[in-house]
Structure 1
Amino acid sequence: MDSAMARVEVDGKCSIFPARPSLPQQCKLTYSDLQLLYVHYTQKCLFFSTPTSCTIQDFESMVERLKKSLSETLVYFYPLAGRLKTCDGEVYIDCNDSGAEFIEASAPDLCLAQVMGDSIPHQLFPFNGVFSINGHFLPLLVVQVTKLIDGIVLAFIINHSLADGSSNWHFINSWAQLCREPLSIPLFPLHTRCFTTTSPVKINLQHNNISKQRFDNFTPPPLSEKRFHFNEQIISLLKKEANEALKEKSIYISSFQALCAHIWQGITRARGLSPNEETRFCFSMNCRSKMVPPLPYSYFGNALQGVGASITTKELLSGSRASIALMLHRTIASHQDAQIRAELDKPPRFPDLKDFLSTNSIVVGSSHRFPIYNNDFGWGSPISVSSGWANKFDGKLTVYPGRDKSGSIDIEVCLLPQTMNALEFDTHFICPFND
């Protein structure tokens, strides 16, 4: 499906406010939040099938339920209804109930099968190309519900300086719960910004860094994206292979670490790098459980830090999958409370997406542990999940749990077209145990 040919019509927009006024307060952004001011708003969507008998009136009723329950959800997640503000170098969320944006749209010529492919129409997502810094004047949360011939697409666009993936799905799970059963949410969010040092973090934001351009004429980058499904059997074999090769039996390599080793080798082969070129594999690590004491799962904000391992192409491809999995395991295991707190004491660094274009890097985002398929808004569980073009570059991996909930993993892989073509024809990558 060529996204440029998709006809998605915006039928209406409105603001959604918390059902009850929030107490005026200011949530100061932490070091981890501030580093994401210059990346795009996050874009995720869920696909739902609807009966063929679903009428316009049925759809309108669903939309009203979404609006009403979103208003109730914003009572608990009130920062999402605010705006960013900067005063004396400190950036914070002004929880002023300015509201979230809700967009109703329709794609009268499209069905689910067309939009759930490897190239999702970017028109299903608003705020394409918009950076989080622009939350100073734009809504921090935007929702778009699009009616298709045989289903709906519910897109969530969230300012990345407010929340990471764990927080985003906590919000979405809570909203689904209130839409389905309007009582209360099972887990209240913690809005105290405690993933930080004791000293306030100040930055120098130049006035011209805050652009009011809406990027309405967004064009997706010249990249190829494809979703690869790894079933439970393949993942179990990769984990078994890695752990059986260990000499230190006190170490345990996880399924995901073993899978990442396989993917790193496959993409590096497809890139055709010279033997002495360095390649890097990076994780956006959720630090909640690694701190002492641990941050609660309910912490609403960004508790992410980047960790990674580097190696030459020759070393990577001549090594076994098990040895590469062990290197990734040690990289992750070594990043504990002391290292996390040391990172928090550093001045904020603002990454540029262009930094990744020539580094031979692979960067992993999202998680196979997120409760994505638990989001029943009252018309059944989603049949798939996807992301928009936000924060995409050559080597970006977006990870999801498999819909079958058996331990399978889906990974959206974003690469240069020639690299993707080579990867798709790499039989060792597609079938790692069919030598």
Structure 2
Amino acid sequence: MNPLTVTPISECFIKPKHIVEEARQPYYLAPWDLVMLSVQYIQKGLLFAKPPKTENQQGFKIMDFLEDLKQSLSLTLVHFYPLAGRLATSKSENPPSYVVFVDCNNSPGARFTYATVDLTASDVLSPTYVPLVVQSFFDHDRALNHDGHTKSLLTIQVTELIDGIFIGCSVNHSIVDGSSFWHFFNMWSEIFQGKGDDVSISRPPVLNRWFPDGHGPALSLPFTHHDQFLSPFEAPLLKERMFHFSSESIARLKAKANAESNTNKISSFQSLSALVWRCITRARNLPHDQVTCCRMAINNRSRLNPPLSPDYFGNSIQALKAGVSTVGELLEQNLGWAAWQLHQAVVSHSDEKAREFLNLWLKSRFIYQIGKLFDPHSVMMGSSPRFNKYGNEFGLGKALALRSGYAHKFSGKASAYPGHEGGGSIELEICLSPDEMSALESDKEFMDVVSPSDKELMSG
């Protein structure tokens, strides 16, 4: 058997433990959800160490563990019932109308799969670059969100390694953004650790979708067939690597950016994003008059007036074009200059700016296309080190690492995770072409900020 082959063992579908009355009605999607129909599922997961066998005990039993996961997932879906549904569409020809919603009644539920692979946790974590086999730890490879008409909106794939357990979660990005993804994951872990039939949770999701005044809930798209707006995306050849930044290194970077801008307002993440933007741009060796930008995924929940709850379930994000510059200006100026551009864009992203995007969309309703949304000269900072990712334990202790699937990867994509040791440390998952990755690894400004353990991997 090829050790890099993930072998499917079983699959089933999980429905909510009981049906709430609201689930009997169509669950309509808001503008920030609908624009996602042609992008891919969110695929994030956690690698855990398998509990060691102990004397006089039979130790860890995978079948018992899977059953506990299924039971707790069924309870969690009572609260997050749209994830157990399927997409449905009502459409008409004249005038063109295409209304997408979640049907929570005519669905087998969320998918749950179990697979095995003849690898150790070290085989996944030790290589300098993330092994391609990790993409097989997730369901819905290359699927677009619109495929949620025939595919599950949520799949949990549990992959058993020789000495580890990987829990991979694939969720339809038209239903959740990163905040809602990790909210669901956190509550599932909470219910699992409670191991009871009490379905109360500490942070119930706010399921009522938010619509601009005078619009919704059944928002119509100006199409008659999905071929008019779906565009599959195939990533180019990439190298994917996890870079580690200690809390001390991040603090020094932040202090440097603020000192160079004569301010104290620039955040740690804005400083790190500016560093990534500058160094990847330099690694690409672009012409000095080439325009480049740094996009950042920005959460609109707190920016709306009145603000949405932090537990609002759905999409409430935009890809903010935070910094725009020619290559020459970006590299001739210092880190603080670049970080200040990002800071200004983030703090000025107000209720007015968020609604401006929505008003434009309502006038001319479009669907994001990954291949057109991000250009090869720019950088996109996604995910967030603020999400509670290592708090999900499932009785296995703290995860060893976070990893992601195939989705939303292109040259210049960086996803930010909290560092395993906590305390303000950050891990960046960076995707670049092989030549660009080699150049970034030789960039002194960048590698001086990377944690020593990661540099040792390079010299090894």
Where on the TM-score scale, by shorter chain, does this alignment land: which range? over 0.9
**Counterpart among 219, 239, 246 of residue 231 in structure 1:** 246
State the secondary structure of the residue aligned to 1:325: helix
What is the distance in 2 between the residues matched to 1:354 and 1:382? Answer: 33
Distance change in 2, residues 1:296/1:192 (3 Å): same
Root-mean-square deviation (CA, aligned residues, Å) is 2.3
Q: 1:358 to 1:338 in 2, by over 3 A?
A: closer
Distance 1:393 1:56, change over 3 A: farther
CA contact (8 A) 1:16 1:67 kept: yes
Once residues 148 and 121 of structure 2 are traced to their aligned partners in structure 1, the CA distance between those partners, rounded to angstroms, is 32
Tell me if the contact between 1:78 and 1:97 (Cα under 8 Å) persists in the aligned partners.
no
Aligned sequence identity (%):
38
Distance 1:221 1:157 in 2: 22
Relative distance call for 1:372 and 1:280 in structure 2 (3 A) is same
Is structure 2 residue 433 aligned with structure 1 residue 413? Answer: no
1:142 aligns with 2:155: yes
Distance 1:206 1:394, change over 3 A: farther
Task: Tell me which residue corresponds to 1:175.
Answer: 188
Deviates more, 1:63-72 or 1:176-185: 176-185
Amino acid at match of 2:254: K
Residue matched to 1:85? 88
What are the within-5 Å matches in structure 2 for residues 3-402 of structure 1?
6-23=4-21, 24-53=24-53, 58-88=61-91, 89-96=98-105, 98=107, 99-107=109-117, 109-116=118-125, 117=127, 118-120=129-131, 121=133, 122-181=135-194, 182=196, 183=198, 184-200=200-216, 201-209=219-227, 221-247=236-262, 249=263, 252-308=265-321, 309-347=323-361, 348-355=365-372, 358-402=375-419
Q: Deviations over 1:194-246 (max 9, x none)?
A: 1544313320344353999xx9xx99741111111111111111111122233
CA distance in 2, matches of 1:34, 1:427: 42
Partner SS, residue 372 of structure 1: coil
Q: Any conservation in 2 of the 1:22–1:96 contact (CA below 8 Å)?
A: no
**Counterpart position of 1:425:** 442
CA distance in 1, matches of 2:59, 2:370: 41
2:203 counterpart letter in structure 1? L
Structure 1 CA distance for aligned equivalents of residues 247 and 402 of structure 2: 19
Does structure 2 conserve the Cα–Cα contact (< 8 Å) formed by 1:17 and 1:97?
no
User: In structure 1, the residue corresponding to 2:302 is in which secondary structure?
Assistant: helix
| Runs of 4+ with >6 A deviation | 54-57
Contact 1:133 1:210 (8 Å CA) reproduced: no
Q: Structure 1 unaligned runs (5+)?
A: none
Partner Cα separation in structure 1 for residue 188 and residue 287 of structure 2 = 49
Partners in 1 of 2:60 and 2:390 — Cα distance?
26
Distance in 2 between residues matched to 1:149 and 1:220, nearest whole Å:
30
Aligned-partner Cα distance in 1 for 2:193–2:226? 44
Q: CA deviation at 1:418?
A: 0.5
TM-score by length of 1: 0.92
SS at match of 2:166: strand
Compared CA separation, residues 330 and 17, structure 1 to 2 (3 A): same
- Which residue type is aligned with residue 387 of structure 1? S
Residue 51 of structure 1: how far off its partner (Å): 2.6
Conserved? CA contact 1:18–1:97, under 8 Å? no
